[in-house]
Amino acid sequence: MIISVIFLVQTSMNFNTSLYSNALTGISEEFGVSMQAARCGAMIFLVLYAFGCELWAPWSEELGRKPILQLSLFLVNIWQLPVALAPNFASIMVGRALGGLSSAGGSVTLGMIADLWEADDQQYAVACVVFSSVGGSVIGPVVGGFVEAYLPWRWNIWIQLIFGGFVQVAHLLLVPETRTTIMMDRIAKKRRQSGEDPNIYGPNELVPFRERFSMREVLITWIRPFKMFLTEPIVLTLSLLSGFSDALIFMFIQSFSLVYDQWGFGTVELGLSFLPILVGYFIAWGAFIPVIRRNIEERRRKPDDERAQYESRLWFLLYTAPCLPIGLIGFAWTSLGPPVHWIGSMVFSAIVGIANYSIYMATIDYMICAYGPYSASATGGNGWSRDFLAGVLTIPATPFFENIGGKYHLEYASTILFCISFLLVIAVYVIYWYGPALRKRSPFAQQLSDARVELQTHGRRLSKIPSGSRANSFARSQQNLRIRHTLGSRPGSYIASRPAS
């Protein structure tokens, strides 16, 4: 049930980023602005979404996943209203900006995955959440095509609000708190109230509120994801890889209206042209299932082999990453228009979808494994790269495809993207082979790895502790607090007895 709601939350967040595009024509006509100006609403949402992910993620590690995600969902829903009821274009820009900044993004939901599953068992759950993330971005244009054809533009926003409200209620009613330290605080408080153990306290209870939330601690918490992005080579490298690949794919998708106009596609048909990408996501998701099984078996056979524990998660990417340049060059030269059939370009769109899912899945899985309790901050860098670069490219994307070259401007533009994608594919192989060196140069990831080894040495291997048990919570807290000081946050105290006065 929890993973199903996380799936819906993630789908809703990405649905918000893409459905707005189908309101552009209506906004342009009603408020007398150009299409490029109307696209600024999409641009500002994505750019501030990138920063929102970074700002919300560390607070979910301090205050708990549930209250932070609830507040984020509530604010995102509230900021739909100024857009849906906008009397002028400025109201739309303000609503979109605040909505993007209020979005917690996948960093919090992926942090919940790290809470619920050990590194050895997380991959199936990560694969599900990654699909909801990339799938939500594609479902938006499919739904939006019908909305644009048959309803006023404001219905694009009302539909986002209805979906977002449903998801928030589902999350409120069906998903408990998953953050270990918060759960331990509650367990300790309950045991004191019941009289079972009056001297037991959780990790945060012995720290005064004023000390926990001093200006210094607030700044440290907010800076944490950016510090990890800049100082952890794993986070920086994988985030840039994922971000640039997503930016290329975003540019590629922006060409759809120009490409399929050659075949006379209407609004509905144009929306449906995104379905092949969704098919590619399904294919990649299904292909990862036996790969995950293979990875699990390899880790069990080689428990002391770090490459088996970490880099094996990137192994399948060696075969799927080349789908990105293959899909882009194939799409480029099947986009010629009649008499070439449109189905050819859609086949290559599906191949691009396979690459997009695979790159996101492999990089996120690797980072969650490496950073465990602080994966929300680590994956925040990944989300920042993807959303920021996609947002920045929103405005120049259409002119890029319209103005490159002459008769074959669409084909040349996609070919340029193909050439850039080659560099990204090379980076995948470099990261795979030099992953151990990157980890050794990542102080936070290395200390977390050492903490895991220490727990294994004492016979408390985390993967063998039943998920959700108190023992599991205790072991996680030990691991969590051993590495906490690396990022400069306050020292915590795991469940302990306060000396009687």
Per-residue pLDDT reduced to its tens digit, 445-478:
777 766 666 655 654 443 333 333 333 433 444 4
Residue 38, by phi and psi: left (phi above 0), alpha (psi -120 to 50) or beta?
Answer: alpha
In a domain, 496, yes or no: no
> How many folded domains does the chain comprise?
1
Q: What pLDDT shows up at residue 28?
A: 95
Q: What pLDDT shows up at residue 452?
A: 62
Looking at the chain, the number of H-run helices and the number of E-run strands are 25, 2
Q: How far apart are CA 223 and CA 487, in angstroms?
A: 9
pLDDT, tens digit, 9 for 90 and up, residues 198-236: 888 888 777 776 776 677 877 877 787 778 888 888 888
In a domain, 221, yes or no: yes
In a domain, 501, yes or no: no
In a domain, 277, yes or no: yes
Please, what is the Cα angle at 66 between 235 and 220, to 5 degrees?
45
| Cβ atoms 218, 230 nearer than 8 A | no
Which residues pair with residue 496 across a beta bridge? 201
| Cβ atoms 153, 84 nearer than 8 A | no
Q: What pLDDT shows up at residue 494?
A: 43
Length of the chain: 501
Peptide bond into 339 cis (omega under 30): yes
In a domain, 442, yes or no: yes
Q: What pLDDT shows up at residue 456?
A: 58
**Domain CATH code at residue 174:** 1.20.1250.20
In a domain, 493, yes or no: no
Q: What is the pTM of this model?
A: 0.83
**What angle do helix axes 375-392 and 106-116 make, rounded to 10 degrees?**
150
CB-side exposure of 118: number of CA atoms within 13 Å?
21
Q: What pLDDT shows up at residue 227?
A: 82
Q: What pLDDT shows up at residue 350?
A: 96
Q: What pLDDT shows up at residue 425?
A: 87
In a domain, 273, yes or no: yes
Instruction: Write out the residue range of the structural domain in which residue 464 sits.
Output: 2-487
Point out the residues of the chain with pLDDT beneath 70: 209, 212-213, 373, 376, 449-501
Q: How far apart are CA 356 and CA 349, in angstroms?
A: 11
Q: What pLDDT shows up at residue 488?
A: 43
In a domain, 31, yes or no: yes
